[in-house]
Amino acid sequence: MIARLASYIAALTGWRRSGAAFLAGALAALAMAPFDFAPVLAVSFPVAIWLLDGIANGSSSLPRSLLAAARLGWWYGFGFFLAGLWWIGNAFLVDADQFAWLLPFAVLMLPAGLAFFMAAAFALARLAWSRGTARILAFAAAVFATEWLRGHIFTGFPWNLFGYALAAEIHLAQILSIIGIYGLTLLALVLFSTPVALERPGGWRWPVLAIVVLAATAVFGAWRLDQHPTRFFDGVQMRIMQPDVPQDAKFNPAMRNEILAKYLALSRQPTPDGAEGMAKVTHLIWPESAFPFLVAQDDEALKVLGDLVAPKAVLLTGAGRAEENLDDETWRFYNSLHVINATGTIIGNYDKVHLVPFGEYLPYQSFLESIGLQQLTEQRGGFTPGPGLRTLDVPDAPPVGVLICYEAIFSGEVVDPANRPSWLLNVTNDAWFGMTPGPYQHFVEVRARSVEEGLPLVRAGNDGISAVIDPVGRIVASLPLGVSGVLNSRLPEALPPTVFARAGSTIIAILFLLATIGAILAAWRARKSA
């Protein structure tokens, strides 16, 4: 039966082939949060391989065959990214009168552009294509390579890597501490492609082997979790404030007093034991871009914030920051985090490094602004990236590595290598995307950074998901999406640097070489025995 199905899929041509690729890609999106149904990949990947069989077994010349494979990959990628990223369009409805007309372009053009990475993967796989199980490795190595490229070139966009289908399960996620999310992506590609082998007699061994590998990975995860119970730093009592302010109000200067009053009231909520809200708090944390004004230039607001945390706490809050360029008397604007003490003094700053294209800056800024376009944040000229990742010293707490929103999705790029922090702080504002899959996907990716690095992670979101995560990915405390409230928690202790933290890039290079060599050797053996 599987053999007949494989032959039927391979024989598809024209729009039926493209449509099948699109549907297989869209199906794969169900493996991502909030659905987290990884088994769909065991259908999606084999369908893609059988469709590639139809191209490889055809009579076309190699150049035509490569073009057909690229076209097939594009349709697969378009289905996957459209089904997985449609929620980005919600951001264009925040200021609907100004940006709603761009919604269909955003919803379609981003997936269409990202699909070219999958087009390259399918064409690359076609170059090494062979019969039998060898093509599983060819497919996995090619997609792995282009997924890494997607995460790095043109500033990178490593969202919804296939490894996140496994990383959502905490036991399977522990392998991130060794191979990282790209290594887990390669593992997922190989394991979920093995049902292809069922087309031949005796092929059941490969899916069974895949199940054994997954089980071994889970056993390793259970062992690692058992070896590292959650431990806490002494003397650090955090309070995370999640205001759930609507996005259309968050950047409205007219809402200044109302928003600030809400933040203050929430922050002062009594603790569960009935004590005064800020009495035991040592570190108050507010989310990204908390203010519709530049707090660093507002002495009155700084005094209010100092009074809030006095006498012994500090506030860590997202905020916009402006800095005058003395050379040309222009102003640069940064998406930042301020550390504010009990005197209302800003004693530390971090400026976001990885800015969001079209959200915080426009590629080819001058040209696009000249024709009337601007980024969603409506900051004329866009934001300026910070000088680099930096570990901040915070009073009465271990050194912290700050990640503002989008920055937390970049595997291996979340820690200052010259000054490793003892915890990570992610302030974010996912309110742009409402109650859609986007914030859930973001949370899974942030959590993966914690496991990769062996560092606890504290997350403050405007509308959620706010959480405290220990260094093996356990959720110590959390607030769900779309609620207003505060979260009290102690700060988990860090682990020693993981294998991935020490040698991540080397491990990825080794995995790619092994996958490529394996694909080549398997193809050579298959052709030799033909």
CA distances in angstroms from 235 to 63, 191, 232, 492, listed in the order given: 65, 45, 9, 11
Question: What 3-state class would DSSP assign to 187?
Answer: helix
Closest CA to 2 of 42, 37, 52: 42
Q: Which of 199, 250, 360, 405 is an active site residue?
A: 405
Give the span between the Cα atoms of 169 and 33, in whole angstroms: 11
Strands (E), 398-456: 400-404, 423-428
Token pair 């995307």 is at which residue?
433
- Name the amino acid, one letter, at 388: G
Fill in the DSSP letter of residue 146. H
445 is catalytic: no
CB 431 within 8 A of CB 439: no
Catalytic residue among 147, 199, 288, 452: 288
User: What is the rounded distance in angstroms from the CA atom of residue 421 to the CA atom of residue 429?
Assistant: 23
405 is catalytic: yes
User: Which is the catalytic residue, given 199, 352, 407, 452?
Assistant: 352
Tell me the one-letter amino acid at 174.
Q
Q: State how far the Cα of 74 lies from the Cα of 53, in Å rounded to an integer.
A: 16
According to DSSP H, which parts of 35-175 are helical? 41-56, 62-85, 96-99, 103-127, 134-150, 164-167, 170-173
Q: Which of 251, 233, 315 is nearest to 281 (CA)?
A: 315
**Which three-class secondary structure state does DSSP give residue 94?**
coil
Q: Is residue 300 among the annotated active site residues? A: no
What residues are annotated to the active site? 288, 352, 405
